[in-house]
Amino acid sequence: MRTSWRIGSLFGIDIRIDSSWIIIFTFVTWALSSFYFPNRFAGWPQWQYWVIGVVTSLLFFASVLGHELTHSLVAMRQGEEVRSITLFILGGVAELKGEPESPSKEFSMAFVGPLSSMIIALFFWTISLLVRDFSQPLWALTRYLGLINLIIGIFNLIPGFPMDGGRVLRAIIWRITGNLKKSTRIASVTGQGIAFLFIIFGIFLIFSRAFFNGLWMVFIGWFIHSAATRGYKQVVMRDMLKDIMAKDLMNREFETVSRDLSLQELVEEHILKRRQRAFLVFERGQLDGIICLDDVKAVPKENWANTRVGDIMTPKEKLEIASPEDDGSSVLAKLVGKKVNQVPVVKGEKVEGILCRGDVLQFLQLRAELGA
């Protein structure tokens, strides 16, 4: 269960804030205003610690946004679609559609991230030199931002997938071996190794009385580890589905219903009898829409007798449609991306079959069990 809010858009990309970001923003602001600045600069009025703390914290997250935005802009230049950038507890994440197509694209897309953080660091560091003699608070603020962006840049260069450095590493191995799966595996294993180092170091810190820093390290390590594992699984799955087509996965024997059918009849005569969750709706031999169990469940039971299939079905215009020659991974992306459970497989005007999410998952499971 995740909630996020859209706060605006830049270059056509939605900028979003995840609810978990509030926690990290509060924490960073508090740590800056109550510890970092007071420990280094004594004698400011209390309100000034908080004002500088809040502004620094906001600029810090703006820098994170700048880092993600650079990734996104390079990706868009290469023809990728970027849906949104979300700030969350561990920084920012840009939601891209699909994986990069070539090692060189992957390389430039990943590399600009740390590069942008370094440039932002240089920018704040230059300002800090300029304001040094005029204003201590401004100097403190810009110096901190220069330092933290430098750290972000260096952290992201750690060569473990899925961090930027890991993606750079993957691109290099991919270029050499020509094998995306193999290079992802190597970069992921490196990522997992680095994650363990973080965790071990974190535990060491916890026992040397640096409890919070240690806990933070363990948390980052755990995050890197799960991301590395997940990233690799996705690539393996895509690889498995690459050479299978929609026509091999789809169900050719499907029952159709008419739009004038009542929901009562649909449930009794079709859903319960066939134990099928979705039905294509046909009108004069042509595809008209699709109706599934969830649509029916949304209607109160007492209205089933007087509601027609045509009233609540997803009409043809709004349907996601696959073609028989689509490969499995693009069909799965469609199912997941549009949050639907089935797509009709259509060639020209003719419906050849229906493909359900379950079919794809079953295929993956079968292949995994057979070790193929």
Q: Which residues bind Zn ion (CB under 5 A)?
A: 113, 164
In the complex, least distance from residue 170 CB atom to Zn ion, rounded to whole angstroms = 14
Which lies closer to Zn ion via its Cβ, residue 57 or residue 63? 63
> Shortest approach of Zn ion to residue 118 CB, angstroms?
12
Minimum Å gap between C-beta 56 and Zn ion is 21
Q: In angstroms, what is the minimal distance from the CB of 164 to Zn ion?
A: 4
| Minimum separation from the CB atom of position 119 to Zn ion (A) | 13
C-beta of 120 vs 351, nearer to Zn ion: 120
DSSP E strand stretches across the chain: 4-10, 13-18, 82-88, 91-96, 256-257, 278-283, 286-292, 314-315, 342-347, 350-356
- Strands in 82-88's sheet, in edge-to-edge order, are 4-10, 13-18, 82-88, 91-96
CB of 115 to Zn ion, least distance (A): 10
Structure tokens, 309: 């299939």
Query: Residue 273 carries which side chain, given as an amino acid letter?
Result: K
Least separation in angstroms between residue 80's CB and Zn ion is 15
Locus of tokens 């043809």: 316
Report the amino acid identity of residue 19.
S
CB 289 within 8 Å of CB 316 = yes
Which residue number, 24 or 241, has a Cβ lying nearer to Zn ion?
Answer: 24
Cβ-based nearer residue to Zn ion, 106 or 164: 164
Residue in this structure with the two tokens 């979300």, named with its chain if needed: 86
For residues 69 and 266, which CB has a smaller minimum distance to Zn ion in the complex?
69
SS3 label, residue 130: helix
Q: Residue 163 or 246: which CB sits closer to Zn ion?
A: 163
Lookup result for tokens 């498995």? 240
CA angle 60, 151, 15 (to 5 degrees): 35
CB of residue 219 vs Zn ion: minimum separation in angstroms? 19
Task: Give the nearer residue to Zn ion in terms of CB position, either 53 or 113.
Answer: 113
Q: Residue 173: CB partners within 8 Å, gap ≥ 6? A: 182, 183, 186, 187
Q: Which is nearer to Zn ion, 113 or 159 (CB)?
A: 113
Beta bridge partners of 94: 85
Tell me the two tokens of residue 230: 């997940």
Task: Round to whole Å and give the CA distance between 63 and 122.
Answer: 12
Here the tokens at position 341 are 């459970």
Phi first, then psi: give them for residue 96, nearest 5 degrees.
-105, 150
Q: By beta-carbon distance, which residue lies closest to Zn ion?
A: 113
